[in-house]
Chain A
């Protein structure tokens, strides 16, 4: 199983086929950790948006997948890393509807709304790293046989 604790796996993002493979890996890791279908889909969609940004705007890069455990909860962290031109105005890039690539302009802002933690690190000419984290919600597990 790929969802092993503290283990970081890295996939290249260089083509549409790489995107499909990265999505597949994210889904597998999320399902393996016990994320529900809705959370899986949210994380998968955020991963898809960010990885496509890495490909389209960053000129390719890699995705890193880490399984987290802070003692109370488990989670999944995704980083999309490129060494592309970077983002000059991060606030503008995070605005709904702003696009430089002919898309809907919802990739970054939408991905942020899909996950619990979102950090963006970018400087012009230095590349971009977007990291998102989703924690497994610590809802009490219903015990069988007890109403």
Chain B
């Protein structure tokens, strides 16, 4: 068995040497394979350069004798480039399976070149080398997929953060009246952001009334209610009265069944009612123009 391993290791190192030796020819062939051709559409030279970088990485990994290791140092240098290529293919609508297929397509040109090195392609040493190359290319495929998936996860994390910021605008409705239209699920992280931006706006606008509109909140369970009440209490400490609006019939019934006591909080069915209430308390009267005024 150890003899077998030794033969495999030798073959792997030979493949490494082969890759280093045939770098130019292999890069020229890979530049015409869909993976490189479709990403580097502007110039073929770019595709060749990118291919060379990948060949170099594979040669380094093979020479280090760890062809199965996804985390091998040799791949580090091309991870960025592979990630960009995978991302570019994903953007143009390729599925991960398709990208994996395109990476797999790199193998046959390499195998052809490798077999040309041997006078007799059926000799055991040739078979051993092809096997080593196959293992190496399999690892490359894993590295590409891993890089692509990581890029996806980064994107999701970034979007989650963006959502936190974007979904909580505080709007000035009138002098001294601000409103926050709440949308979606009010988990702890988002309700914290809501509270902070509301309190900051209350100070900045010197607001006397703050309207929390929950029209876009699908459900008010006890945790969401608790978050809302904490926000109301904090606003009150700063001298602003909070009005909870946008309470739909289904939400109202649910709150009653749950047994949540919103007693101290002023509530209104709609945002317009809440604004009317706030304006009324500020002593501002909004009324239709008289007929005479309209004629003029």
Contacts and interface: CB of A to CB of B under 8 A. Distances in A.
A91 to B, nearest CB: 17
B259 A110 contact: yes
A52 B218 contact: no
A66 interface: no
A70 to B, nearest CB: 24
Interface in A67-118: 96, 103-104, 106-107, 109-111, 113-114
B123 interface: no
Interface string B226-260: 10000000000000000000000111011001111
Contacts of B189: 16
A114 B250 contact: no
Nearest to A107: B222
Nearest to B185: A20
A62 interface: no
A27 B221 contact: no
A5 to B, nearest CB: 26
A40 B188 CA distance: 23
Contacts of A37: 249-250
Interface residues of A, number: 25
B105 interface: no
A103 B223 contact: yes
Contacts of A48: 219, 221, 223
A111 B226 CA distance: 16
Contacts of B221: 45, 48-49, 52, 107, 110
A27 B219 CA distance: 10
B220 interface: yes
Contacts of A110: 221-222, 257-260
B187 interface: yes
Contacts of A27: 218
Interface in B2-53: none
A139 B68 CA distance: 65
Contacts of A147: none
Interface of A: 16, 19-20, 23, 27, 37-38, 40-42, 44-45, 48-49, 52, 96, 103-104, 106-107, 109-111, 113-114
**4 A-B pairs closest in CB distance:** A110-B258, A41-B250, A48-B221, A106-B222
